[in-house]
Structure 1
């Protein structure tokens, strides 16, 4: 029964047609935390469910709502009117993958910045998201950490505020400010090199700061940072030549990827890139992300690190997008598919069908992932992943969806079970199959009565009066 119960709850929690009455019952599931998370993190959560969540006696449920990147900011901010401990999760904010949640209303930030609990204020200014127009108001705050937070909105700060932060009495504030302007400034670069020993930000300074001869010679002996140093365009030529024959292959690789080298000079350096190597985007390429000529040179380079770096830049010319979509390096193609809005639909489809990297699974959510014509193309495909794509085709017929629901592969049947084109009697049959139960429970074909009957079957109590999901907690 446990397996059936889990499947019913997971399916109903994600069912797009689940009414408020069903979602409110699901909030009472105490023993399976991720079920409540699915409910609370839904898009367009009904207002009565929002009301129940933000006033819920269980702190965990309120916290989940505070962490939701899909929640309306005005509704999330209501948590400030509840238990004082709820402010912490608002200060931290949602952690979305490659996205930023909509900001809270200004009044909420004002209350968080003046919150009586120090750890709430600290969380917001050090790790939370502050809209630039709020951050700039902190440039002359008496607390040093607030002034550090103001530096995150550097481009919006008035010139006078920038000068003040660069000359601040606090080392941390001066460092945060200097990290925005040190490039091209030997004095600031030298100060930061001395100040950031043991700090991960030192790598950024060594890679792109203006190095004096003295600093360069000293740092070339410090092995933890030498590969970053090898990328620095101001590194003296004799030190570059020395690092080009270094025993460490990562150092030679960095030298080979320096800006300004010819293709022949890059090829002359003994370097290699393994298909599985994780390489950060080259900073000098990223800095030129809107320069089509630099990106063109990188995209046509024989050096795969340059091509990988160009692939993430949205300023890449259209013909270079087409070129990199057929690159021999899998990572180049994957990065292009992940980051470029004009990545060809066929590239996304090919990677999704044949790629083994975990990132390919997310490509199906891209707006340019194909949908039209997939039914005719993959209805009889040998690959079950291809057959499952039929449900994406808006022109797929109910008969084709029904056929998929009888596929020998359970994962394909599950895809069909969620599709609103599948007839209700067939959905009910799939509810009886353990392998498709969770997907059938997510079918929008189910009515509210059937959903409640499923909850009755697996022992979720009906709501009577004020909902309770555990003792009230701070």
Structure 2
């Protein structure tokens, strides 16, 4: 990989004639092709030239709507044809041609394309390779999903169970097995004599069975996966899944615990589950009622209280109590984000610094509340408010004077931090390494600040791509020992045009 050319290919200031020269080189380096395909200024003619040399770039170009069906020959460029079909911009005839393509990976990719003609879907549903049929089952229409739910291979049924277009009655049947003929095969018994359990640390390099996959003739691990997929499927009716509240598998009970439309009795049974992971999944479910939230608030099981704090409907008094027993960290909790103006005012005046820290994470606070939190005596509150827009330079400097290294990195993220303040933050003693990375991301960072950022290994690639860096320094970084720095420097729009021209063969 040529990291200089990869960086140049992404450089927004690269002249069009140099883009053309890179396109001619891209067929030998697909990383260059990928960077070129992502350019916003790539012309239609350049996109056609790129895909003619590097067909793998078609997916990215099709996603950006830089190719049309008229640009592609499906016989010579099947991958490009598939990319356009996936974006709904291909031609039906292409799908019919690719449905019988001898390369199974192409048929498999075709099966995931939307809006396939019915005859193409029928051809793929009868494919001899189960991977193709399973991929179709995952994305197909309700009518085809109904047919594939009875497919003899359990892997196809698993895909049908995950398809949200599958009719609810069919999803219910997949969970219980009622009304469907028994599956005849699964991926395990396709390859191994049963009974068989795949060892979690299988040494075979060519083996792609999942750890613990098993079959004793009943395809039990795939049946478990079918049920898990159906439980996760939003289209599965609640009355078909409530019985899993008592299922032996904690994994299935955990999936059930996050379902949004179960009867209250099911949630109550899950709240008494003997597995803390199930109760923790339930705690974050926005469908549980106030009474159950308060029950879970007293649950000391692993992660239960922390996840409950992230429930958007947790009452504020419960959330306040949770801060005394749970390490949540500085994050904008959903309930805090949804707090009313009156609640915000009450939270900001809380005697509990953790509560004030949570409200300080909001970035839409009234100026009077923002300013009060900016002079809070607790460093973690100030750290949380430091990134809030609207704070003056004097306020930001006062934070640094009072709390020093504990808040400097967060002050460096403030969108209103002045260039002079950013320079001062990079000169602070002792240095705060995380602050260098944040300063390097600031669009108004100055050259002196960025030069200081180059002394930090993690900030160096970020600073190398900053347009305020002196052109001479950018050119010097093209020979850096770290490839990330080289690519960032080559992609820097302030790299002199003469240097760009010298670098492109």
Unmatched segments (≥5 aa) in structure 2: 127-132, 187-217, 232-239, 259-265, 340-357, 364-379, 385-411
**Are the structure 2 counterparts of residues 125 and 254 from structure 1 closer, same or farther at C-alpha, using a change threshold of 3 Å?**
same
Matches of 1:393 and 1:295, distance apart in 2: 46
Matched length: 361
1:452 is aligned to 2:501: yes
Alignment of 1:17-416 (within 5 A): 17-27=13-23, 28=25, 32-56=29-53, 61-63=54-56, 65-68=57-60, 71-73=63-65, 75=67, 77-78=69-70, 80-81=72-73, 84-88=75-79, 90-91=81-82, 103-105=87-89, 108-115=90-97, 118-119=100-101, 126-128=108-110, 134-135=115-116, 138=118, 142-143=122-123, 145=125, 149=136, 152=139, 154=141, 161=143, 165-166=146-147, 175=157, 180=166, 181=168, 182-185=170-173, 189-191=177-179, 194-195=182-183, 197-198=218-219, 201-207=222-228, 233-235=242-244, 243=248, 259-261=266-268, 265-266=272-273, 269=274, 271=275, 291=287, 293=289, 297=293, 302=299, 316-317=312-313, 372-373=415-416, 376=421, 379-380=426-427, 382-404=431-453, 407-416=454-463
CA contact (8 A) 2:10 2:35 kept: yes
CA contact (8 A) 2:58 2:79 kept: no
TM norm structure 2: 0.52
In structure 1, the partner of 2:387 is none
In structure 2, the partner of 1:418 is 465
Q: If you compute each CA radius of gyration, which structure gives the higher value, 1 or 2?
A: 2
Matches of 1:307 and 1:139, distance apart in 2: 53
Matches of 1:209 and 1:430, distance apart in 2: 53
**Are the structure 2 counterparts of residues 199 and 120 from structure 1 closer, same or farther at C-alpha, using a change threshold of 3 Å?**
farther
**Are the structure 2 counterparts of residues 411 and 370 from structure 1 closer, same or farther at C-alpha, using a change threshold of 3 Å?**
closer
Matches of 1:51 and 1:256, distance apart in 2: 49
Matches of 1:184 and 1:294, distance apart in 2: 30
1 or 2 for the larger relative contact order (CA 8 Å, sep ≥6)? Answer: 1
CA contact (8 A) 1:112 1:121 kept: no
**Alpha-carbon distance, 1:403 to partner:** 4.0
**Alpha-carbon distance, 1:419 to partner:** 1.0
**Are the structure 2 counterparts of residues 444 and 451 from structure 1 closer, same or farther at C-alpha, using a change threshold of 3 Å?**
same
Aligned Cα RMSD in Å? 5.7
Deviations 1:334-360 (A, max 9, x none): 9999xx99995899x99xxxxxxxxxx
Unmatched segments (≥5 aa) in structure 1: 95-101, 211-230, 245-249, 274-278, 351-368, 461-474
Deviations 1:60-88 (A, max 9, x none): x122x12327743350645532x614223
**Alpha-carbon distance, 1:118 to partner:** 1.2
**Alpha-carbon distance, 1:204 to partner:** 4.2
